[in-house]
Structure 1
Amino acid sequence: MKRFNCRFLFIILIIIFSVSINFTQTKNTPPCSSLEAKQFDFWVGNWVIYWITQTGDTAYGSNNVQKILGGCVINENFSTKGAQPFNGKSYSVYNSTKKIWEQTWVDNTGAYMSFTGKFENGKMILSREVSGKNNTKILQRMVFYNITKTKFDWDWEYSKDNGKVWELNWRLHYVKHKNG
């Protein structure tokens, strides 16, 4: 009986010790410090953006992307100039509970879009589902790829067959501004 009590007490002490170490490590870990929460850091900076329009002209824009709220949120400020200026903002955060990235986009046309996704195989892919004509399901996604410290490409794609075939809507080329 004494032997059983000693073993039981020993097991309880090990459990308490393990839980207290885990709690201390969790308590001292800063929020948004995981490697996954840094996967979008390549996007932070001031960017010059260019793309080819449907008429074959080259169009330009800018994007200022910064970390806010203690480094937990990535804030995008996109703008174009011209006859019809286009301005938009997005907020991206890594959801450590769901193990996905979540992004909300809003712009001066009144658009609101919500995306989720992951960084895999050197690409950040964020997607959403929308209803098309006659309630057909359309998938839309953004793909960040060819990522280096000074440039990357961004595609907006859609699929009408549940992701079997993706078609390109437009492609943007990001080049880091010399001031950062």
Structure 2
Amino acid sequence: MKRLAFATCAALAVGFVACDPSSPAIAASGSTAPHCRAPEYRQFDFWLGDWDTYRVNKPGQPSVARNRVTSILGGCVLFEVYERNDGYTGESFTTYDATRKLWHQSWVTNEGELLVAEGTQQGKRIVLTGASRDAKGESLLKVSWEPQADGVREIAEESRDGGKTWTPSFDILFRPHSG
């Protein structure tokens, strides 16, 4: 998997609206669904927005992708649309599963990739782990999102030995879209 993520709001045919539950756009569209008002459903709201994506290990380089994360389905789901400058595109749906007390994400791409990951909030971070297969076999991907003063940082690590050892996969920073 080259990229994992999730998103939230109103990203239908009319375009994207960065959402927070108190915004006029959300209030006008019916507000947060009653069963998704618990604080746990708001843990990942720091990721909502229209973002430019930068590689942390290449400071000063231009954005490599645009990422729009919106809140949909009455504030119960984050919907992400990730569009890299080289044509790679992915979308994710992320939701809090109150019955199991964890976050669930499904990520798919225009290269036929699928990653299903789950996890929890750990301090200020959301950390999800999932298995995927590629030409090299099965691997685990552990991804974390953490709010930063200038955006949101997403770090991924990969394991090819069932989680015994981890190697860096990617480290990116989402900053508000400038456009």
TM-score by length of 1: 0.71
Going by fraction, where is helix more abundant, 1 or 2? 1
**Which residue identity is paired with 1:117?**
G
Deviation at 1:172, TM superposition (A): 0.9
- Where does residue 93 of structure 1 map in the other structure? 95
1:75 matches 2:76 = no
SS in 1 for 2:41: helix
**Which residue identity is paired with 2:110?**
N
1:175 matches 2:178 = no
Deviation at 1:59, TM superposition (A): 5.1
Deviation at 1:52, TM superposition (A): 6.2
1:116 matches 2:118 = yes
SS in 2 for 1:31: helix
- For structure 2, the 5+ residue unaligned runs are 1-32
1:102 matches 2:93 = no
- Where does residue 62 of structure 1 map in the other structure? 66
RMSD of aligned residue pairs (Cα, Å): 2.7
Which digits, 9 at most, give the CA deviation of each residue in 1:76-104, with x for residues without a partner? Answer: 011012xx411111000000001110001
Greater CA radius of gyration, 1 or 2?
Answer: 1
For the 8 Å contact 1:49–1:62, the answer to whether it is kept is yes
Q: State how 1:10-29 maps to structure 2 within 5 Å.
A: none
SS in 1 for 2:46: helix
Greater RCO between the two (CA within 8 Å, min separation 6)?
2
Change in CA separation of 1:43 and 1:134 when aligned onto 2, cut-off 3 Å: closer
Q: Distance in 2 between matches of 1:52 and 1:149?
A: 14
Q: Distance in 2 between matches of 1:78 and 1:167?
A: 23
Sequence identity percentage? 28
1:151 matches 2:151 = yes
For the 8 Å contact 1:42–1:149, the answer to whether it is kept is no
**Which residue identity is paired with 2:109?**
D
Of residues 38, 42, 55, the one that matches 2:42 is 38
Which digits, 9 at most, give the CA deviation of each residue in 1:139-180, with x for residues without a partner? Answer: 2111113x136412111211234434321011111112257x
TM-score by length of 2: 0.71
Deviation at 1:114, TM superposition (A): 0.8
- Where does residue 30 of structure 2 map in the other structure? none
For the 8 Å contact 1:52–1:59, the answer to whether it is kept is no
SS in 1 for 2:34: coil
**Which residue identity is paired with 1:144?**
W
Report the number of matched residues. 146
Q: Distance in 1 between matches of 2:136 and 2:105?
A: 27
Deviation at 1:51, TM superposition (A): 1.3
Change in CA separation of 1:165 and 1:46 when aligned onto 2, cut-off 3 Å: same
